[in-house]
Amino acid sequence: MRVRVATTALGITAALLALPACSTDTTGATHQPPSAARTGKQSDAVQKPSVLSSAALESRLLDQSDLGSGYLLKPERPAQHDDVTVIGCPALSELGGDAATGGTLVFPHKAKSGFTYGGSSSEISEELYSDSPKKLSDGIDRIFDAMTGCPTYQVVAGGTSIDVASQKLPTPHFGGDEQWSQLLTFIAGGRSSVLKQTAIRDGSLLLIVSGSPALVDRHLDKALDKATATS
């Protein structure tokens, strides 16, 4: 049995819940207090100001040659329009109807891809966005604050009820101007799945990597290096 639901805010694809029998993926998950540090923050005056086109962002996504053997590209799924209700998290509900449905952030320039690993339920997805530094910062900050502001809540989508627990994580220190990270645990039908999501803003570029915690930890620095390469 596989249950898939995207728990998002303003269209952010925060999770694709895969629930194989008796599987709980907690690899790479840590239970530490959230870090208040957002390393290397600079004023917008000295940040890279150029907004990248969607085509330019597409070329900066990780591909199979970057990831290594065992990764298969996931075809993009058609948009789903199930009725969605968020219970127990007013801040997330207030973000609007897209707060609990799959999609992308509402920035004009974007690119995304997703991969499965080793023929299992382990997955990793990458999203890139480009806009002014302030718009990127305000948008993603509002989303993460809403999603991690409620330790537990429930999402009902298309008749499926999913219990969600969210936890802020210490942010990585690979670089960038601002960083956010969280761990999401989903429970449905007595089965659970864990997803890690980390976002890094570097000037006018926003990188979001989501998926199995071990895969996010393995490829985050590589994704940031490729996304921010100037050559």
CATH number of the domain that residue 138 is part of? 3.40.1000.70
Q: What is the pLDDT of residues 94-139, one digit of tens each?
A: 875 454 444 457 788 999 999 999 888 899 999 999 999 999 999 9
151 is a domain residue: yes
Could you give the residue ranges of the DSSP H alpha helices within 81-123?
Answer: 90-93
9 is a domain residue: no
End-to-end CA distance of the chain: 45
166 is a domain residue: yes
48 is a domain residue: yes
DSSP 44: G
Q: Which of 172, 160, 164, 105 is nearest to 138 (CA)?
A: 105
Q: Is there a contact between 19 and 192 (Cβ–Cβ < 8 Å)?
A: yes
> What residues make up the domain containing 55?
44-227
Tell me how many domains the chain contains: 1
106 is a domain residue: yes
32 is a domain residue: no
Tokens of 159: 């008749």
Q: Which residue do the tokens 């936890």 mark?
A: 167
- How many angstroms separate the CA atoms of 195 and 73, rounded? 19
16 is a domain residue: no
Q: What is the pLDDT of residues 3-31, one digit of tens each?
A: 333 333 323 333 433 333 333 333 333 33
Q: Report the half-sphere exposure of 209 (CA within 13 A, side-chain side).
A: 25
Q: What is the pLDDT of residues 19-74, one digit of tens each?
A: 333 333 333 333 333 333 333 344 444 445 589 999 999 999 999 999 999 999 99
38 is a domain residue: no
